[in-house]
Amino acid sequence: MVNDKHENWSPQVGDAVVVAWGLDEVEGEIENIYQLGGATRVLVAVSLPDGGRETVVLPVDSVRPVAEQPQKDPGYWRSEATFLRILADKFANIGRDLLDIQLRPRLAEDREADIILSVRNGPPLIVEVKALRRGEEKTAMNAIHQLRRYMETAGSGSRGLLVFLGYGVEENVARTLEEYRDPRISIVVRRGPQDDRNVIEAAIGIIANAAEESFVDRDVVPGEQGGWDVLVPGVEGASFHAATQREAVQYAREVAAKGGGEVRVHTSGGKVRRIRSSN
């Protein structure tokens, strides 16, 4: 097994590697290597600048051997931590629809999100902050996949806000973001403090839309690529996808019930079955 980015290096358990950590880079050691969904993943125990240690799962091509090139100068990790605290403080002023803010919550054994906002009458909002350097299409793609996994762990209907830090969104990266566009995820590029308002407004918009969508009907329809989609009337794209009709109907009933809405189940033959949800 060879790392695509580092053709002369075949990662092994016990190798010392450098991994991206927010805006900084930290060293770690590979503890396990395995296949997941056709892709090679590495389990890395990283040493943090504050003296702590954490275990993370990463795509194999997102790490590099320590000996290949020097690690970046320290300091960026602390800057990202500071930015997250400031961002959490700004989120606290969003308004009455925001119930709670969790900074660095652990969603599962190997999943720790940056910020989770609990919303009144709506699903949680997962906020992920990622440094994006020039030309890093794969970093952008991995960030979207990671946020999707966080959203699945957080619960049905979760929404995401992905904040990219830096000046790295060139045309090729922008095309990657468009290709992997997810209607449940909003993306904001922060190049400096002047863009902080855009981040806050994006969160406010997601929360407002989520609260509004909680009080309308839902349509359950066959998915274009299989499975079943839950649609919000007048909103482009599926708000939820499930492998079975039963799962999709259960989710649709839960969210529609908040406002006494109706669930309409559409079959491939064109028939419609109406289910009244009560709160």
Output the pLDDT for position 76. 45
Output the pLDDT for position 127. 92
In this predicted model, which residue has the larger pLDDT, 111 or 204?
A: 204
Rounded to 10°, the helix 171-179/137-154 angle is: 30
Q: Is the pLDDT of residue 207 over 80?
A: no
Over the chain, what is the mean pLDDT?
A: 76
Where does the pLDDT of residue 44 fall: very low under 50, low under 70, confident under 90, or very high at 90 and above? very high
Summarize pLDDT for 218-256 with one digit per residue, the tens. 889 998 888 999 887 755 667 788 889 999 898 888 777
Output the pLDDT for position 18. 86
| pLDDT over 90 percentage in the chain | 10
Where does the pLDDT of residue 31 fall: very low under 50, low under 70, confident under 90, or very high at 90 and above? very high
